[in-house]
Structure 1
């Protein structure tokens, strides 16, 4: 189908067919997660829709419409836009270095009039699309073991280093994990994987000691021993662990979480909303939400598995890895199993930027599902 076909009489019927192909169970799972987020935001605000819950629900409504619209987009269009989106994201990250806004000691934002945004969010999608397109036309030998691998490695590390310098360690970790996952899933040799893991373990100590900013290094040390500074750098983790433990099996009850209601729990609407959930609904409530996340991840991976297009498989896998990394890092963070790096729980936490990024990514996943029986050529990005 060409762009000119949009004006043909039968195109409306094609769009209806595509719309019916959307995985509505997947949409329902996402709605349940966002709904749980709205309920928790209502609770921790003192049973008030303001300032978070109503805004969260409205944002999700807008984002779900955007996701459904993006699901209609042919894979060949995503394929054609892959490198431009990555290139735009890289240019915006460089612009942040030159003219970005500094807030709370970090230079992460670009402002255009009254509108400001974080270009690193563009790169979360850009790295997925660019690597999926790159590997779509690569031979199995190139993907497995060759000097050609320096290209995807450079494409991954360039944005990672720029984002880490802002500094935004959490987002840099997400981009690195996503890029590495796509490279591995594309068929990377186990020899290189083993060597990369060994090199990573060797680099971590000097990186922590000599490269990290002082506050980032303190976060790592606090993670290892939070009680060394209970009223300072260890406060976040200790309060989160208190909330988790006090919830027990069934929790204290909706709206009865003392840590969140009395504002002992920091960043309760964003980074530590999962701890607030644990306090009010206990282990059972946390397990229910984690099952919803697991179902969403499984269904997105299923989309990657059934796609006939190599580009579609890698793109859907990359988006799923990013989403799973959000859940894993935030969950580990609030349980004291990882340093506090400012990664929210997607769609449960308040915050429009992360929700928009995640839902655009899932729009791509649904596009892969709707067009799962189509293949994309590596030459001009058209279907065969």
Structure 2
């Protein structure tokens, strides 16, 4: 097995992110994080047939006495609901899971968010190990302990902070990732360059052919760099009371688009999360330029890079600006009823801006 790269996340609840091929089959490493006799493997209808059996076998080989339950969601954002959360809780109850149980989240961001929330709530909190299988979840949702489900009014409005015991980013799973999902993950990778690392942004411009081709070594470098950026921020601000909000560049706009169009992106024309974030980052950059905070040239450069990665940069047709603004008013970062957005001073220089004038936001939304 190739030696994995590791990124350590410090703070009150430290853990390690392991990055490399074959990690989901390392039963000894996985079982090391199961303190008791029960484990629930949460996955979805696409990922489970590919990898769940191997994970179960690896865990049983390392811990033959382990009682392992499996809960499989229908694939797609539309499954990240309170109803499926309740069904996963029922699966833990049926398993007889005790307070030293462990939940394994095998899949993309939907699985990671929901499984983490289940672990946060069962008996007021049990262990969770994240096994992300998409690029987007490897560089974003599996790291940092933000867990949640969606409701019709908005994304991730019901959830909890619950850091994992460990993250195993098995890069071999990216070989089965559809090109569209790979590109969606690359949107979140580009975000790290946009918010705090102009040199990384330039590297992403240079390495675009290798990344889009799915070159394993180049992807592993991008994942490690992204996780290092996120780990540094999460250590200092685990509960998103300040700096961590910078990780949401483009997300307030993007979440509004996702909610307004109806959650999807799997087998339909709706934007998926990474695509919506790509559009949102361009809107945030355009708004920053309109407010005199940043050069228009930097917004153009960001848009050009996203387009070069075959990501959307315009609001989908049929979404009214007024409706999107109404969705943005429900964003969790807002304070005292005023919009609080992540904007920038240019590439690598993001900041949180409170009290943004809604009229200026509406003008950007109408420009699309």
Q: TM-score, normalised by structure 1?
A: 0.24
Structure number with greater Rg is: 1
Question: Higher helix share goes to which structure?
Answer: 1
Higher relative contact order (CA 8 A, sep 6+): 1
Q: TM-score, normalised by structure 2?
A: 0.25
